[in-house]
Structure 1
Amino acid sequence: MCFYNQKKFACGDWAWGNFAARCNHEYRMGETCGMKLVHNTENIQAQCKLCEKIEIKCRRRNAELERIARWRREGGVMKASMEKSGIQVRELEQEIRQLEYERQMKQKNIGK
C-alpha cells in the first residue's frame, strides 16, 4: 500500500499524481507494492482532458448547426455545403456520445 498524490479536477474527476511514500510491505529499493493509497489531494480548477475534449466537440457541433441555420435563412442555396455540415454534425455527435460513455465507464469503475 504505497502512497501517491492525487489530482482532483473541477469536474469531479481525478488522476494519480507523483509517488509520495513507500509502505512497509515493500523492502526493495525503488519498488512499490502495487497497492495505491492517496497521500495528498491537489485540487485543480481546470477540467480533466476528457471533459475538455467533450467541450471542444460540443462547440464545433454548435458552430456547424449555426452555420446550417444561417444557410437555411439565406435561402438554402448551398445544398452540398449543408449536407457536408450535416454529416459533420452527426459525426461529432457520435464522438461526443463515445467520450461521454468513456467518462461514465471511468466513473463507474472508480466505485469498485
Structure 2
Amino acid sequence: MCFYNQKKFACGDWNWTSFAHQCNYEYRTGETCGMRLVNFTEYESKQCRLCEKIETKFRRRSQELERLDRWRREGGSLVATMSRSQQLVSDLEKEIYQLQTERDCKRKALS
C-alpha cells in the first residue's frame, strides 16, 4: 500500500505519476510493497495520449472522405488516386478501431 500521485485526464482516463511515500509494510529500503494507493490527484484539461491519437485519425479520415466527395462531385477521372484514397480511409478505420479497442481494454482492466 505505497502511495503514488495520479494524473486524471479530461476524457476520464488516468495514469500513475510520481512515487509519493512508502507504507509501513515494506521494511526493505527503496522497495515498495506493490499495492498502489492514490496520494494526490492532478487534473489535466487535455485528453490522454490514446484519445489524442484517435482524434487525429478521425480528422485525417474526414479529410480523406471530403477529398473523395469533392473528386466525385467534380467528375474526377483520377481512378488510381481515388482508389489509393479509399484504401487510406480503410486503413485509418482499422487503426481507429485498434486504438479504441486498446483504450476500452485498458479501461476495463483498471476498473
**Counterparts of 1:29 and 1:110, CA distance in 2:** 29
* 1:1-112 alignment, distance < 5 Å: 1-111=1-111
Give, as a single letter, the amino acid of the residue that structure 2 aligns with 1:100: Q
Equivalent position SS for 2:23: coil
Q: Percent identity?
A: 62
**Counterparts of 1:72 and 1:78, CA distance in 2:** 10
Gaps of 5+ in 2: none
Equivalent position SS for 2:6: strand
Aligned-residue CA RMSD (Å)? 0.6
Q: CA deviation at 1:76?
A: 2.0
Q: Deviations over 1:76-104 (max 9, x none)?
A: 21111100000000000000001001111
Q: CA deviation at 1:37?
A: 0.6
Q: CA deviation at 1:28?
A: 1.4
Q: Deviations over 1:31-87 (max 9, x none)?
A: 111111110000000100000000000000000000101111111211111000000
TM-score (norm 1): 0.97
Moved over 3 A (4+): none
Gaps of 5+ in 1: none
**Counterparts of 1:56 and 1:18, CA distance in 2:** 28
